[in-house]
Structure 1
Amino acid sequence: MKRILVADSPKILLGVTIDYQLQYHSGLPALLVADGWDVHVVSGPGQRIEELRLVPGVTAHIIPMAREPRPMSDVMSLIKWVRLIQLLRPDTTLIGTPKAALLGNFAAQLFRVKRRIYLLHGLRLETSVGIKRSLLRLIERVTSRMAHETLAVSASLRQLAIRSADIRENNILVLGAGSCNGIDIEKYRTSVLNLDQKRSLANTIKLDPTIPTVGFVGRITKDKGLTQLAGAMRLLYSRGVTVQLLIIGPIDGKSGTAAIAELEGTHQAVIATGYREDPAPFYQLMDVFCLPSLREGLPGVILEAMASRTAVVGTDATGIVDVIEDGVTGLVVARGSDEELASALETLILSHARRDALTENAFDMVSVRFNTPRVQGLLRDFLRSRHANRGRRPFPATAAKSAAGV
């Protein structure tokens, strides 16, 4: 039952930097509306924010923001944030991603929003050095201090934030097993391709179904560890193990272009499809999914691969260690070790039985710990409890009935 918004509904504002990042909150605005909130969402321009305008009870606001530091542009974005917070006067803000969190939390603190929550998705400082690392550390410290609490998307990210970003230990927490949105298990359970459909999809992207496929999904950039993947591909070639690489995702800057060139020089076939709105069918073309990242928050692509019953290999990076139990739900290798990554990939490519055992364990784990209703339910309950603890206006009775399914 959809809730009818009433005048005294508590007001919440969700924010991210760019439209693409709204996928981190897929379905959450509608859930919060049903729970009694007057929901407002902020992001840069794009298709997702426009689609949210069609969701009853949700108001979408567009504030263009640059991901990288751009002083003049950042000042203009901050002015728009200040004006919006002044106009809305939300009871609660839940803002994530670096630029939106910095600007949005500043504006929310300026107007003394009663419950300010910083959603920490990852730490860029982990792979930065020198002055840039110091600047990023300062930004994280300031952003977290402007919020009442920080929600980290994984336990290992929480520990890194305490250790490296000077975020107070008693002011940062993880809900459940982590994640901010979970994975739609039913989508993957009910969308299994048959053999003909797999062959047809493979043909459209010129993938050879007779050659083992190692897959990668994500932004193509140096922090994703693609140099290590290229080294592993060369080692596999030298061992006489022929594979093909299926790369799904957009090229992110010069480092992404260089990574593709390096992968194409490994003597293994590379099929790069570019960005795909829905990568779900492509996991079913992979024998092994590989994420050799140097840093993560909590990698949704690994959850997607597990939900697709595709065997996974990942590095011991922040976030990845929270979702892969080595030898149980996947294989974990050391960051930067081409040799370890090549051996792990070779093991799974050559052993169908090993892949099957890992994928069943992984599917069971992700179904229980990271299913979307569980993850979103924990966040919904957290937001409701924090609102109540601040002594704010109660949820209207109609919302309580709607949340109970009355």
Structure 2
Amino acid sequence: MNILQALFFPPEQPGGVSSMVPYVQERFQRMGWEMEMFSLPKRIRNKGSEEVGFETFDWKVYAGHPVVDKYIQTYKDYVWWTKLRIRKSYDLIHAHHPIAALVMKKLFPDTPVLMTVHSSYERELILNGKIASGGPEHSFLTSIYRELESTVDQLLTVSHSFKQYISDYVQDAERIGVIPNGFDEKRFRPMPHENAVPQFITVCRLVPAKGLDTLLRACAELKQRGHSFVLHLIGDGDSRPELEKLAVELNIYEETIFYGYMLHPEEFMPFFDVFVLPSRAESFGSVFAEAALCWLALVGTDVGGISEQIEHGVNGLLVPVDDAHALCLALEKLVLDPSYRYNLARAAGEKAKRMYSLNRVIHQMKSVYDTYRK
């Protein structure tokens, strides 16, 4: 069976999809399957010019809004690039972005197209202050879910909570399958260590949706309560200058290290003690599973896919969104009790190996792919 994995970003870009699909491809190829990856290079801009039309709604009523216009132009660019580069047929196409899915089905209508919805672009834009909830851009982006349902052969997503979110925008949510992300265990090498000062780490884009302002305020309170720590922030984004300024204002800049983007943070992660990320929304939260496989204690917010990964007090700690005091108390608990921290980390690692192994993903994907064998 010859399968195309259609991405939006090139696989070297940060994110859960990029970190998983190349390993999926490698594993299927080792099993004798033909599998290739395809994506739109970042340098491709404003090349496409074909008219765009959707079956389930008229996108032109939203034209003139920057997010909508950029989305439509990117769709056109993906059409242009796909026509230029793909010269063969496939038995199945598995898309990992709505634009990729809709373009592939448009250009290859006789080929089964599966679509995994990995995240909510509209929720992220709202949380990052880029669009208004209930505004035209929001309506356009949520209309895409119904278009996907109508167009592709199978919709998948990465968590039950995100399936529930999508259900408000489709006609038959029961048809949506759930395959959580999976990770190649060989990438993660837990490292037994003893840090004299507790080391916190987070890995994410530095944008408002990730709640890093809450994390900095929690760490400032932790310092005021007399606890030593170092906070390592791996990632980059528009909020970095604002976050660095906030760290200075809160008097924790000396305890905080801003690294910028790192291609393979899993090689760095095992030397730390606690992974903490107070996201305001998260469809799955791949980095929590990655941190668990590095044997780190987990602290996250009780939202989306995070709360499906963390059972509070068993394999990590959950706190409410935007509650810096609750986050401070959770971190304090782990600072004060290394044995508790150790036990949470081991429980998190065991669950991640059991639930989020690449073997499980391969088995589930193979079952879906097999239904489309000719």
Give the TM-score, by structure 1 length.
Answer: 0.76
Structure 1 residue 217 displacement after superposition = 0.9
Distance change (3 Å), C-alpha of 1:90 and 1:105: farther
1:151 equivalent to 2:135? Answer: no
CA shift at 1:72, angstroms? Answer: 4.3
Q: Distance in 1 between matches of 2:372 and 2:44?
A: 26
Equivalence for 2:353: 367
Aligned residue in 1 for 2:5: 14
Q: In the alignment, is residue 252 of structure 1 matched against residue 246 of structure 2?
A: no
Deviations 1:122-166 (CA, angstroms, capped at 9, x unpaired): 112234223232222112332333211111111111111113x33
User: Match of 1:168, as an amino acid?
Assistant: D
Deviation per residue, 1:365-388 (Å, 9 max, x gap): 11111111222222123212x213
Q: Which residue of 2 aligns with 1:108?
A: 105
- Match of residue 161 from structure 1: 166
User: Which of 35, 38, 41 does residue 34 from structure 2 map onto?
Assistant: 38
Please tell me the residue identity of whatever aligns with 1:325: E
For residues 60-107 of structure 1, the C-alpha deviation after alignment (integer angstroms, 9 at most, x for no partner) is: xx97799x626545423322234556x33322111113xxx3244234
Amino acid corresponding to residue 218 of structure 1 in structure 2: C
Cα 1:260–1:173, aligned 2, differ >3 Å: closer, same or farther? farther
User: Does structure 1 conserve the Cα–Cα contact (< 8 Å) formed by 2:24 and 2:358?
Assistant: no
Distance 2:289 2:247 in 1: 24
Q: How many percent of aligned residue pairs carry the same amino acid?
A: 24
- Code of the aligned partner of 1:115: P
| 1:103/1:288 CA distance change after superposition, 3 Å | closer
Q: Partner residue of 1:88?
A: 88
Residue 59 of structure 2 is matched in structure 1 by: none
One-letter code aligned to 2:81: K
User: Mapping of 1:210-229 within 5 angstroms?
Assistant: 210-229=196-215
How many angstroms does 1:35 deviate by?
4.3
The match for 1:297 is: 283
Structure-1 residue corresponding to 2:258: 272
**CA displacement at 1:184 relative to structure 2:** 2.5
- Greater mean alpha carbon deviation, residues 261-270 or residues 286-295: 261-270
5+ residue gaps, structure 1, are 1-9, 47-61, 196-208, 393-406
Distance (whole Å) between structure 2 residues aligned to residue 41 and residue 65 of structure 1 = 23
Where 2:35 maps in the other structure, the secondary structure is strand
**Would you say 1:377 and 2:374 are equivalent positions?**
no
Deviation at 1:341, TM superposition (A): 0.8
* 1:117 alignment partner AA: L
Higher RCO (CA-CA < 8 Å; seq separation 6+): 1
- Partner amino acid, structure 1, of 2:105: A
Return the alpha-carbon distance in structure 2 between the equivalents of residues 38 and 184 of structure 1.
20
| 1:123 counterpart residue number | 120
Structure 1 vs Structure 2 CA RMSD: 2.7
Paired residues for 1:208-357 under 5 Å = 210-249=196-235, 251-253=236-238, 255-268=239-252, 269-357=255-343
Task: Evaluate the alpha carbon distance shift between residue 225 and residue 237 of structure 1 in structure 2; reply closer, same or farther with a 3 A threshold.
Answer: same
Aligned residue in 2 for 1:54: none
Q: Which amino acid aligns with 2:176?
A: I
SS for the counterpart of 2:298 is strand
CA distance in 2, matches of 1:75, 1:336: 38
1:337-357 deviation line (CA, Å, top 9, x unaligned): 111111111111111111112
Q: Is the 8 A contact 1:264 1:270 kept in 2?
A: no
**SS in structure 1 of the partner of residue 304 of structure 2:** coil
Give the direction of change, closer, same or farther, for the CA distance of 1:93–1:279 in structure 2 (3 Å limit). same
SS in 1 for 2:271: coil
Distance 1:281 1:30, change over 3 A: closer
Name the CA distance, whole Å, in 2 between partners of 1:376 and 1:270.
39
The answer (yes or no) to whether the contact 2:102–2:151 under 8 Å persists in 1 is yes
Find the aligned partners of 1:220 and 1:142 in 2 and give their Cα distance: 31
Distance 1:146 1:64 in 2: 25
Report the alpha carbon displacement of residue 301 of structure 1 after superposing the two structures with TM. 1.3
**Aligned partners of 1:214 and 1:244 also within 8 Å:** yes
SS in 2 for 1:93: strand
Give the drift of 1:183. Answer: 2.2
- Structure 1 runs (4+) deviating above 6 angstroms are 62-66
Cα distance in structure 2, aligned partners of 1:264 and 1:377: 48
